[in-house]
Chains A and B, each alone.
Chain A
Amino acid sequence: MIVLDTVPSGSLLLAVGVLFAAGVYLLLERSLTRVLLGFVLLGNGANLAILVAGGRAGAPPITGSGSGSGSEAEPMSDPLAQAMILTSIVITLALVAFVLAMAYRSWQLHGHDEVQDDLEDTRIARLAVADVPSYADSDSLESGPTLAEEAVTARDEVALPDPAVDLPPRGRAGS
């Protein structure tokens, strides 16, 4: 007998809300590592929400399905919700590993892991400032760093590296 308590546990719901709020806050950051932490929190929040959907906490899944009928059967939690959570935990784990690798690669290349601006947006913004037609190539407007170099070196959150400290072994930014 699956026990489906339609009144969800308040503390679990509160936890879901807190996880989502913190997760969204972190997701809005620029640094990939913080975005990743936000994703982990959001993932846990969503998993917890599914767990709440599976019924009241406390009863074990599957093992509780006594052969007795009606009120004699032991209460059990809904195993399907837990199976879904298990799947999504595995998926989240794999994606976290990938994003970590990507953040590391970004640090290798540029010395930071900030999500960079869309080059085209920057190009159009520059053209708008210079007030020239859209088919002009903004890189040719002025001498200075190209858009790609600028995007790499621009950062909001991570402190600029101390020039005395060497970049990581294969870092090529700005060199």
Chain B
Amino acid sequence: MNLWTVQTLVPLPVLVPLFAAGLALALHRYERVQRVISVVALSVAVAAAAGLVVAANDGPVVVDLGGWAAPVGVNLVADPLAAIMLLVSSIMLLCVLLYSMAQGIADSNERTAPTTKNARLLREALEAQDPDADESGRRDVLPVAIFHPTYLILAAGVADAFLAGDLFNLYVGFEILLAASYVLLTLGGTSERIRAGSVYVVVALLSSIVFLLAVGLVYAATGTVNMAQLAERLPDIDPGVRLGIQALLLLAFGIKAAIFPLSAWLPDSYPTAPAPVTAVFAGLLTKVGVYAILRTQTLLFPSNEKLEAVLLVLALATMLVGILGAVAQDDVKRLLSFTLVSHIGYMIFGVALATQASTAAAIFYVVHHITVQTALFLVVGLIERRSGTTSLDRLGGLARLAPGLAILFFVPAMNLAGIPPLSGFLGKVGLLEAGVLDGSVLAWVLVAGSVVTSLLTLYAMIRAWNKAFWQASTDKEPLPEQDRLPWGMVGPTAALVAVGVSLTVVAGPLYDYAERAAATVMDGHTYIEAVFPDGAPRGTGESNEVTSDAEEDRP
């Protein structure tokens, strides 16, 4: 048995960050070592994910963990959908890690002994976090040696959720990333973060319980939690039971993905976290929910028109309510959180149409949105660092003070709004095309809603850009002139913005890839055949390698 096959790559994005997290926690006294460990681990994850994207192009790569084959064992499946999600999220996680290291969030030394250049800004930032803390209190509410290990665990959890080949492993992946996200959101335990974190944690706990119950019901109804086997068995069970399970799973994932009636927790909780953490959450966590919906809706429940109609209505409500909320906001972070909710609606639109073209467009849109939303939140972090506030009423005149920042905000903002030729436009066109092809009344309503949402996004982003960058400075005290933003923070932000723009350049191949990914999850046999290469699941629990080895040994 060859150790270095392409299958070796599959567990790496989960295992490497997980082991690195343990190592980083053990070495919490050595900041530099921690940083090196984190960067190396996430770089390995990026490389492995890139390898998987290439490998999955020829068909899903399946690994039976511990040599136990599905359906008895646990397997990881890297099909094109999982691979592309994995690659984008790993790149994003690496960029944000570099950004956060430059910001010094992971470095308690800089906190207690700030460099003279940034001392005033740092103090202001701390005061903004916790206005009534005294100096000693402030120092001990920032135990940030925990940041790197937690961040790595988050990366491992996200990768596990993407690669999971069975529902229970998906649940475990969700729990890993959620547990890490609880810690990151309440980092430092300041008053504001505990307030916002309580809501987030309670809502997330509830969705986890709903998911767990759904897994239990799935097991009771079908006797398996393996997704490939479920795809074979679910069509045979009672339609009422199937509908119940589907609705329960949608409820659990809908809370995580922040679909409209379940989205109220998001705009309140995300903005209070440190800028890099908000960026990761906004870019990634909701998309893991969308991914789970995409996976279950296409693979496990291929056709259910009633529920698809409900999803379409919810997608419309998510788009409109989200963007109307964004228009009303006067804080950039909250504004972006609302646009995040709104644009989840686009992805759900694609999923709910349930055609191959719409699914491909949804996958493309997820890829686009992860990069763009993260880049925007990172830029807002830069704005906050430069001017000490994110309130649009207090910001102003930044275009003259920081022209580079203005460009860094403008490009992803236009990308989000869907201005041609940026990738947001291409994704939206794909979705609209799929909607028009579908032709039903509801689909046309959704097409109109998407266009309106896109225009309102443009309005919201232009308004934010005008108020922050273009209008004359409204503040009595002018912004400090001399403080330059550290290159370590600008660099990763610019890189992510560039990735967002380059999605346009590689849009052709990427869209082809998204279509192949959609075909793999939708055609109903490629995925199953990859997990059970010999046709029907044997249920003996022996992996193919073991079986083939045994056959080779036989004379």
Contacts and interface: CB of A to CB of B under 8 A. Distances in A.
A46 B217 CA distance: 9
A49 B175 contact: no
A88 B209 CA distance: 10
B332 to A, nearest CB: 14
Which 4 A-B pairs rank lowest in CB-CB distance, beginning with the nearest?
Answer: A53-B220, A50-B216, A49-B216, A46-B212
B213 interface: yes
Given A84-B168, A118-B268, A134-B328, A102 B201 contact: yes
A99 B51 CA distance: 39
Given A105-B186, A152-B191, A152-B195, 15 more contacts: A32-B202, A39-B202, A45-B213, A46-B209, A50-B220, A52-B216, A53-B219, A53-B220, A54-B219, A88-B212, A95-B182, A102-B198, A115-B202, A116-B198, A135-B330
Interface string B139-171: 000000000000000000000000000001001
A8 B217 CA distance: 12
Nearest to A118: B268
A81 interface: yes
A109 interface: yes
Contacts of B175: 91, 95
28 contacts: A4-B223, A23-B209, A32-B198, A32-B202, A35-B202, A39-B205, A39-B206, A46-B209, A50-B220, A52-B220, A53-B220, A80-B219, A84-B216, A91-B208, A95-B179, A95-B182, A98-B201, A102-B198, A106-B198, A118-B199, A119-B268, A134-B328, A134-B330, A137-B393, A151-B195, A172-B132, A172-B133, A175-B132
Interface string A50-82: 101110000000000000000000000000110
Contacts of B132: 172, 175
Nearest to A106: B194
Given A98-B182, A105-B189, A53 B206 contact: no
Given A87-B168, A102-B201, A135-B393, A49 B186 contact: no
A120 interface: yes
B368 interface: no
Contact of B194 (A95, A105, A120): A105
Nearest to B467: A135
A148 interface: yes
> Which applies to chain A's interface (DSSP): helix, strand, loop or mixed?
helix
Interface string A132-151: 00110100000000001001
Interface of B: 132-133, 137, 168, 171-172, 175, 179, 182-183, 186, 189, 191-192, 194-195, 197-199, 201-202, 205-206, 208-209, 212-213, 215-217, 219-220, 223, 225, 267-268, 328, 330, 334, 393
Interface string A91-120: 100110011001001100110000110111
Contacts of A8: 220
Contacts of A94: 179
Given A84-B168, A109-B191, A43 B179 contact: no
A82 to B, nearest CB: 11
A102 B194 contact: yes
Interface string A20-54: 00010001000010010001001101110110111
